[in-house]
């Protein structure tokens, strides 16, 4: 049995999050911020509701800026370099 579930503030009201949490009614739900710090929690076997405000993160990650192309290019360059190293031996 899963005793504790950590949920980030940003996704706590998302329908998929609510669906998952409904399947673990006996688990303790701990609300964390985007730094992993505990904001609020509900003890085991207690019903309750967590509420709070969540800051919007406007900084885009490398992956969100460049997407799959960056990963594919990295994979291609890695395979290309391994092929060139084998040819030189």
Lowest-confidence region among 9-13, 28-32, 35-39, 69-73? 35-39
Q: What gap in Å lies between CA 25 and CA 89, rounded to an integer?
A: 60
Residue 89 — very low, low, confident or very high, per pLDDT cuts 50/70/90?
Answer: low
| pLDDT the model gives residue 58 | 66
Question: pLDDT tens, 27-62?
Answer: 888 888 878 777 777 776 777 776 666 566 667 777
């Amino acid at each position: 049995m899963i005793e504790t579930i950590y949920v980030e503030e940003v996704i706590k009201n998302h329908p998929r999050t609510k669906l998952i949490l409904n399947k673990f009614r006996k688990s303790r739900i701990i609300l964390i911020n985007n730094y992993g710090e505990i904001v609020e929690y509900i003890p085991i076997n207690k019903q309750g509701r967590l509420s709070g405000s969540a800051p919007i993160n406007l900084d885009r990650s490398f992956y969100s800026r460049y997407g799959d192309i960056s990963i594919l290019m990295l994979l291609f360059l890695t395979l290309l370099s391994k092929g060139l190293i084998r040819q030189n031996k």
